[in-house]
Structure 1
Amino acid sequence: MKRGKLVTYAGMLFMLVFLLAACSNDDNGSSDKGKGGSGGDITLDFWQFGATNYEDLAKKYEEENPGIKIKVRTAETAEHHNGLFTALSAGSGAPDIAMLEVDQLDRFKEAQDRFNNLYDLGAKDIQDQYLDWKWEIGENSESDFLFGLPTDIGPKAMFYRVDVFEEAGLPTEPEEVEALIQSKDDFIKVGEQVKEKTDKPMVDSMEMAYRGIIDGAEESFFNEAGDLLIEETGNAVREAYDFAIEMDALGLVGEYTLWTPEWGNAVNNGDFAVEMGAAWLKGWMLGNAPEAEGKFRVATLPAEFAGNWGGSYISIPKETDHSEEAYAFVEWLLSPERQLESYQSEAGLFPSSPVVYEMEDFKNTTDEFFGGQSTAQYFAKATDDITYVYKGPDYMSAHNEVLNAMQNVQQGADADKEWEAAVERIKGLIGR
């Protein structure tokens, strides 16, 4: 509202003050999180990270639900989670709706009082639409509090280069590759043939070899009591570490670091044979490895390597003034129908709802990037071998210490000494 000159007449002064106050209230309403905006609209702040199609779906929801506005903010993964944690800790500045990545989820569970329990908002009514293990991860330890509804998941499969397999004298049809590689030992044997015939590594990095085992482990660094498990006999972290060390000693892993330009070029050029990747890697390839189109296929991984890598939840912080409206949007956004749209979008988010796996549009999807192969069935099949995994609030910090140890070994350090040093660093982290 444009301010007029002050006048001395009492009536006009009263009207001016009244109008100014009304204008001020409208401004506050439109800028404050979760408050009514102009025309009585409700604006919901939605914080997300990574590549999704949620902004497009939010616009669609606005069209179908007049009076609801969804303000989407996208940030890098670390920036997003750190900013959200800071806002929740401060008790102000949190959004109405927030994504939580699965590896970060347990540290947010320690702030349960800062979130709405989605069971109180009706989530029980839709629980049967989602994979049991995915849903369970989103609960507290007593299973009576739900932090978020499931978004995508990251079931893993074997992305292999047809041209590299051909050069190595190996079969190239997905069913043949699956029959050829049934175990960890088979994987090493094939890797040795690839190395001998092509002088290329089987996988891109020690991290990928390590993830071959750790992503499917029911327990890794910690149990739910908070105990550190990595020094126990048979621990999955040590098993995964040793496998990566063995692969490196045999010359079967490259020295690429994920997400770097060098790694992207290696994917593009076929500088290694296999990526033990999650379903979402397909979306990355479409946008970042154009020269590899038609040269990759997908096959099922051995059961020893089955696991989930990635995926998220969408939560509703307690701070919102519009929890019911926020929940209505989240339930719609993550419904089977919308999950199919998210999978078919460029983001390629793999559904956490098995309802989608039975939809004809899902089953009949073909991927030109993978030579016209229908890859959806391989990732859907992989979900059968995934179970509930507990990670703990310090998971990412501990995980990074092991990655640092493996990197040092690849540069010539002693594997046992690096493992012992990593264990001590992890103990120091959790002892703070």
Structure 2
Amino acid sequence: MNKAKYLTLTLASIILTGSLAAGGADNTSGTIAANEYTGEAATDIAAAAGAGTEKQPQTGPQPKVELTFWTLGGTNYEDLAGAYTKEHPDVTIKVLKADDGNALHQKLSAAFAAGTGVPDIYQLEAGLVDQYLAEQDQFYNLNELGAGDIEADYLKWTWRQASSADGSFQLGLPADIGPTVVFYRKDLAEAAGLPGDPEGFSAAIDTWTKFAAAAKAVKEKTGKSFSGLADLTYNALRDQSVDEIYYSRADGSFFGDTNPYVQRAYDYTAKGIQEGWISYADIRSPEWEQGLRSGEFAAVAGPAWLAGTLKQSVPASVGEWRIAQLAEGAGNWGGSYMTLPKAGKHPEAAYAFIAWLVNKENQQESFAAQGLIPSIPSLYSDPAFAALRDDFFGGQQTGAEFGKAASRVKPVYYGPLHEETDALFKHALGNVLVKGANPAQEWRSAVKQARKLAAAGENR
């Protein structure tokens, strides 16, 4: 799923799992439309979602199989669905497209509760995977439909993320991913005496000690901040945790306060704030976007879909930005999975379609059309894929760079309460940046609230 396209419409609309849980089922802001690939006119959302209305009459021959497909964000899945139905005239696919992930998530929750209107195929936000793995009785086990035959085609970590602990249940097929890299301004790097080329810049920041040294050099020699965001700097270190971050996959218990990687991520980010080379707290803030437009910082450590944000927010800076590798390993933020809710009447046909949709050929097509980063590693060395260049990034072969980052990601468990817990630590860092608060005191406050949140979750 291409988060960048819809996130850049308004940075304030970036979706967090915590906000998803807070919204009501009727929160349907954003663009949602449904299309039926049979030559018919587009259907109304109420008909596509089965919202208690009578099914609209169809003209012409009735299809043997009719599938409903709910998609999220900027994708080319409508076009691919059309191509599939041309090759499979016995299949009709109605695509419900949502730019607002909150609305789509709430609509699915409402459909589950009502027992009607559930789609055959649901594009699941990667950040919600653990939540839905806890509700796997609502979904088909893709292993029983043949997923095991194609597992080896995909990155191990992204496949594992949608699997049960023992691997017996597969919730979804990996559609796209969001590996983390460093987006940086070539001119500001060179002004600070750092290499401007991606390979040289990557080498100059390949440890977190060297990253901080580069940050100080940029600040001292250009007057600009180095890292534009506290939350994404924290993410970059946090996601290098071994196996788990805040919660145990085995029993769901909270241990974030004793995870040395979480402590390191917090302390490192707080120090960067105090030393003045981290400039903004939150990617959702309009201040950050203004800082981006006015060139107030040299780099952003963030997911691949952030490339779209840069292109839309600072179109005049074509050729100034480059992409480098993150220090000591990459993480992942974003991506999606193709899932099959159990209410669907045609699981075999639905599985055949999604297996085709996210195959190697179509993932390359999705990258070329919408910038969706493939989850199939063999694509990264494919000459046609690796040769794709992006003028915004100075003609850099961005697909190859994102692929390199994806290959460095290690699987890590988040847990159903990850977003709410994560927000507590980021709020603490925001207080350090904005209010000049004491980092140690803010850490203790965040830990106290996180423990309370975890205890409440255990009692649900």
In the comparison of the two structures, how many residue pairs are matched?
401
Residues 236 and 78 of structure 1, relative CA distance in 2, 3 Å threshold = farther
Could you tell me which residue of structure 2 aligns to residue 83 of structure 1? 107
Could you tell me which residue of structure 2 aligns to residue 66 of structure 1? 89
The answer to whether structure 1 residue 52 and structure 2 residue 69 are counterparts is no
Letter in 1 for 2:187: D
Distance in 1, matches of 2:438 and 2:326, equals 30
Could you tell me which residue of structure 1 aligns to residue 23 of structure 2? none
Distance in 1, matches of 2:48 and 2:224, equals 56
Could you tell me which residue of structure 1 aligns to residue 157 of structure 2? 133
1:402 maps to which of 409, 413, 425: 425
Distance in 2, matches of 1:256 and 1:400, equals 12
Q: CA deviation at 1:334?
A: 0.4
Could you tell me which residue of structure 2 aligns to residue 226 of structure 1? 252
Letter in 2 for 1:128: A
Residues 186-241 of structure 1: CA deviation (Å, up to 9, x unaligned): 11111111111111111112102101211232311001111111222x43222211
Q: CA deviation at 1:287?
A: 3.2
Residues 32 and 104 of structure 1, relative CA distance in 2, 3 Å threshold = closer
Letter in 2 for 1:69: T
Distance in 2, matches of 1:78 and 1:237, equals 28
Distance in 1, matches of 2:378 and 2:199, equals 25
Q: How does 1:175-324 map to 2 (within 5 A)?
A: 175-217=199-241, 218-224=243-249, 225-232=251-258, 234-255=259-280, 257-303=282-328, 305-324=329-348
Q: CA deviation at 1:284?
A: 3.0
Letter in 1 for 2:62: G
Bigger shift: 394-403 or 66-75?
Answer: 66-75
Q: CA deviation at 1:324?
A: 1.4
Letter in 2 for 1:367: D
Equivalent residues of 1:256, 1:262 under 8 A apart: no
The answer to whether structure 1 residue 391 and structure 2 residue 417 are counterparts is no
Bigger shift: 94-103 or 108-117?
Answer: 94-103
Q: How does 1:7-156 map to 2 (within 5 A)?
A: 38=59, 39-41=61-63, 42-73=65-96, 74-156=98-180
Residues 101-125 of structure 1: CA deviation (Å, up to 9, x unaligned): 2221111111111000111111111
Residues 254 and 359 of structure 1, relative CA distance in 2, 3 Å threshold = same
1:351 maps to which of 345, 361, 374: 374
Q: How does 1:312-391 map to 2 (within 5 A)?
A: 312-345=336-369, 347-391=370-414
Where 1:202 maps in the other structure, the secondary structure is strand
Bigger shift: 286-295 or 149-158?
Answer: 286-295
Where 1:120 maps in the other structure, the secondary structure is helix
Q: Runs of 4 or more off by more than 4 Å in structure 1?
A: 30-33, 35-38
Residues 206 and 256 of structure 1, relative CA distance in 2, 3 Å threshold = closer
Q: CA deviation at 1:315?
A: 0.3
Where 2:256 maps in the other structure, the secondary structure is coil
Residues 266 and 115 of structure 1, relative CA distance in 2, 3 Å threshold = same
Q: CA deviation at 1:279?
A: 1.8
Letter in 2 for 1:301: L
- Consecutive unaligned residues of structure 1, counting only runs of 5 or more, are 1-29
Bigger shift: 118-127 or 279-288?
Answer: 279-288
Where 1:141 maps in the other structure, the secondary structure is coil
Letter in 2 for 1:153: I
Residues 81-110 of structure 1: CA deviation (Å, up to 9, x unaligned): 233233324433321111122221111111
Q: CA deviation at 1:156?
A: 1.7
Residues 124 and 55 of structure 1, relative CA distance in 2, 3 Å threshold = same
Letter in 2 for 1:40: Q
Distance in 2, matches of 1:310 and 1:267, equals 21
Residues 43 and 206 of structure 1, relative CA distance in 2, 3 Å threshold = same
Residues 389-425 of structure 1: CA deviation (Å, up to 9, x unaligned): 1111111111111111111121222222222222222
Q: CA deviation at 1:385?
A: 2.1
Residues 32 and 274 of structure 1, relative CA distance in 2, 3 Å threshold = closer
Q: CA deviation at 1:361?
A: 1.1
Percent identical among aligned pairs is 38
Question: TM-score, normalising length from structure 2?
Answer: 0.82
Q: CA deviation at 1:31?
A: 6.2
Residues 83 and 241 of structure 1, relative CA distance in 2, 3 Å threshold = farther
Equivalent residues of 1:267, 1:292 under 8 A apart: no
Residues 429 and 82 of structure 1, relative CA distance in 2, 3 Å threshold = farther
Letter in 1 for 2:318: E
Letter in 1 for 2:120: D
Residues 317 and 132 of structure 1, relative CA distance in 2, 3 Å threshold = same
Equivalent residues of 1:151, 1:312 under 8 A apart: yes
Q: CA deviation at 1:426?
A: 1.9
Residues 137-162 of structure 1: CA deviation (Å, up to 9, x unaligned): 11111211110000111122221101
Distance in 2, matches of 1:405 and 1:318, equals 41
Distance in 1, matches of 2:287 and 2:357, equals 36
Equivalent residues of 1:215, 1:309 under 8 A apart: no
Residues 32 and 295 of structure 1, relative CA distance in 2, 3 Å threshold = closer
Q: CA deviation at 1:370?
A: 0.7
Q: CA deviation at 1:285?
A: 2.6
Residues 332-360 of structure 1: CA deviation (Å, up to 9, x unaligned): 11001000011111x20110001212322
- Consecutive unaligned residues of structure 2, counting only runs of 5 or more, are 1-46
Bigger shift: 77-86 or 396-405?
Answer: 77-86
Residues 121 and 295 of structure 1, relative CA distance in 2, 3 Å threshold = same
Residues 44-75 of structure 1: CA deviation (Å, up to 9, x unaligned): 22222222222222222222222323222214
Equivalent residues of 2:74, 2:99 under 8 A apart: no
When Rg is computed on C-alpha atoms for both structures, the one with the higher figure is 1
